[in-house]
Amino acid sequence: MGRLVALSLLGIALALLGERLLALRNRLKASREVESVDLPNCHLIKGIEAGANDIDILPNGLAFLSVGLKCPGLHSFSPDKPGGILMMDLKKENPRALELRISRGFNLASFNPHGISTFIDNDDTVYLFVVNHPEFKNTVEIFKFEEEENSLLHLKTIRHELFPSVNDIIAVGPAHFYATNDHYFSDPFLKYLETYLNLHWANVVYYSPNEVKVVAEGFDAANGISISPDKKYIYVADILAHEIHVLERHPNMNLTQLKVLKLDTLVDNLSIDPSSGDILVGCHPNGQKLFIYDPNNPPSSEVLRIQNILSEKPTVTTVYANNGSVLQGSSVASVYDRKLLIGTLYHRALFCEL
């Protein structure tokens, strides 16, 4: 009788594991392939060989790119080189990517930048917020951009227990921001277990010098975050749920969910087209290829444009798609004056004139 019970429990456990594995493959879109949607006048950006995970562009056309991200379990084309912040002046005819110098005292050797966001203060001071994973830990770094010197002055490192697995950030003040946690746990094994069991414990945190609090939760894997041009709404990409959440901001900085847009791809970072208010999304058509890297069958790329997201039927169009032959693992797309930058998780970056 005891053996029968043990066999029954084993069978139930194996069935549960099999069901969870199948569910994870579906969340990763493991069988999806894309047809190419090409853009004219595109070229790979010289000097970017190991990813440009996130991009933020100032109103004057200066683009910041976070490069060289390394994550446990993910491929890297430059595993021993620290990350950095590059800048491109999109007002120039042939913009080049230049690495910004960072002030002394900041630990460059362990710099591992992830999501980024800029904020322009009332006195025109430009602040750059960077999610950083030194030695795979979680911090937010605040820099002051010094344009004349092409440099970043490090102002502050922020650590907090509510930042166990920070992914992306949107600045709303000189020391104020919303940030996504793509997992509830910081331990790699517990992160894997959380993803495998589909616990939906990821969240969004608001930070200010006076208050830190969870303002939205219940995400599968909260990833990219952005803000509407009128500052009334926060957009959050839930990468494994294939969703973009529209959250309404309140005077106390809390967020309430207004709507959810379902998509057929893994949505990564979000950016806003300043000329239209449209949302541009860097996407992964097949997430399994990101984690099981095969140079003969590399991860593909996809960029979506979402128009009128607050309407009953937003318009979703494919701006760019590639099977990995040119660009592998697109994570972000940002536009300025008909110039488009597409970054990737760990590969190259693309510059296109629209």
Contact (Cβ atoms closer than 8 angstroms) between residue 344 and residue 51:
yes
Q: Is 116 labelled a binding residue?
A: yes
- Angstrom distance (rounded) from CA 345 to CA 50: 8
**Collapsing DSSP states into helix, strand and coil, what is residue 285?**
coil
Token pair, residue 271, equals 């950016």
- Residue 345: how many CB atoms within 10 A of its CB? 25
Contact (Cβ atoms closer than 8 angstroms) between residue 115 and residue 66:
yes
- Rounded to 5°, the CA angle 213-216-219 comes to 130
Q: Is 120 labelled a binding residue?
A: no
DSSP string for 311-323: SSS-EEEEEEEE-
Q: Is 89 labelled a binding residue?
A: no
Q: What secondary structure letter does DSSP report for 278? A: P
- Angstrom distance (rounded) from CA 185 to CA 188: 8
- Angstrom distance (rounded) from CA 66 to CA 83: 7
Which residue has 């080189």 as its token pair? 81
According to DSSP, the β-strands at 113-120 and 139-146 are: unpaired
Catalytic residue numbers? Answer: 114
Q: Where are the alpha helices (DSSP H) in the chain?
A: 2-27, 188-197, 288-291
**For residue 335, what are the CA distances in angstroms to 34, 58, 167, 172?**
23, 11, 21, 21
Please report, as a single letter, which amino acid is at residue 111.
Answer: F
Contact (Cβ atoms closer than 8 angstroms) between residue 342 and residue 303:
yes
Q: Is 223 labelled a binding residue?
A: yes
Q: Is 168 labelled a binding residue?
A: yes
- Angstrom distance (rounded) from CA 216 to CA 227: 15
Which amino acids are annotated as binding site for Ca(2+), given as ranges? Answer: 54, 116, 167-168, 223, 268-269
Which amino acids are annotated as binding site, given as ranges? Answer: 54, 116, 167-168, 223, 268-269
